[in-house]
């Protein structure tokens, strides 16, 4: 009897391994390396790396376009002296009136913290920057960076902790990204004219190549193909749980958001009175 039970448990365990393994994203199916002349690589289907040297950086984009979703990616950033480099991970649509939701990681000298730069563009207009230090070393291990994008709000999170919420403020005349499908993009590039201390610290090319790594991509999202969304009609009923379409911050996550913004936020456009001497943007009333 004991051996039978052990056999059953082993079979269940093996099934779980196979099942869980099958849910990991295959980067070859999900993304295309779009530039970099071989500096972007997919390794064993579940790891992607981007590299930067003096000749070029590199980048990739998703094959799918999304209109709303909950998107996770684990990143391990460029270690050591990363000054002058920028690792960008963002959603973006096409055209002159594009929408965009940005994570940008600004490198720094060894021992100095990365700056996490966030922005939201709607109808081609951005200038909604918030910047943060992180409460861990983002180069020592992989960490999960998430974007929740639904018709009511955009929430940026790190390892499940929200760091920023951008609410839909169309009621007071602020455009919100809700009509244009976006692809996921990421790039590693040289921006030493501005990225580190306003361009005072330049990239040390003796440290090249610089490499950022990606794994465990997950998208619970509305995929748009040929003008149709997977979240509409019969496709929606077969695509599973879409609770994220109306998700908002509960009390615990609101407290975590306040903790991050109190202790780790280093720039907020809604507090920059010199920049907005004629009055803050209207959405700042909702912050």
List active site positions: 100, 104
Q: What angle do CA 39, 72, 82 make, to 5 degrees?
A: 45
Q: Is the peptide bond before 209 cis (omega within 30 degrees of 0)?
A: yes
Residue labelled with tokens 């052990």: 6
Q: Report the distance separating Cα 132 and Cα 261, nearest Å.
A: 8
Letter string b/e over residues 12-39, b meaning 16 or more CB atoms within 10 A of that residue's CB:
eeeeeeeeeeeeebebeebbebeebeeb
Q: Distance of CA 16 to CAs 13, 91, 115, Å?
A: 5, 32, 38
Beta bridge partners of 214: 48, 75
Helices (H), the chain: 2-22, 27-30, 234-238, 251-263
């Amino acid at each position: 009897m004991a051996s039978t039970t052990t056999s059953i448990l082993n079979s269940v365990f093996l099934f779980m391994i196979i099942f869980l393994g099958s849910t990991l994203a295959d980067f070859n199916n999900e993304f295309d390396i779009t530039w970099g002349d071989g500096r972007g690589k997919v390794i064993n289907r579940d790891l992607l790396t981007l590299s930067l040297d003096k000749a070029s950086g590199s980048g990739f984009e998703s094959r799918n376009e999304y209109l709303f979703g909950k998107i996770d990616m684990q990143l391990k950033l460029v270690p050591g002296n990363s000054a002058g480099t920028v690792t960008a991970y963002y959603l973006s649509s096409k055209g002159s009136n594009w929408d965009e939701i940005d994570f940008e990681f600004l490198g720094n000298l060894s021992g100095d913290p990365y700056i996490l730069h966030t922005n939201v563009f709607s109808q081609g207009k951005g200038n909604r920057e918030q910047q943060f230090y992180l409460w861990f070393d983002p180069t020592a291990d992989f960490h999960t960076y998430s974007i929740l994008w639904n018709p009511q709000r955009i929430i940026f999170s790190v390892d499940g902790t929200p760091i920023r919420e951008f609410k839909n403020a169309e009621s007071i005349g602020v455009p919100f990204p809700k009509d244009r499908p976006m692809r996921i993009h990421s790039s590693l590039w040289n921006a030493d004219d501005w990225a580190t201390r306003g361009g005072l610290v330049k990239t040390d090319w003796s440290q090249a190549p610089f490499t950022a790594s990606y794994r465990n991509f997950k998208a619970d999202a509305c995929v748009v193909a040929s003008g149709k969304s997977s979240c509409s009609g019969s496709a929606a009923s077969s695509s599973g749980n879409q609770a994220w379409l109306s998700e908002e911050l509960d009390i615990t996550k609101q407290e975590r958001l306040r903790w991050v913004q109190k202790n780790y936020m280093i720039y907020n456009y809604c507090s920059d009175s010199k920049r907005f001497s004629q009055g803050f943007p209207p959405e700042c009333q909702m912050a």
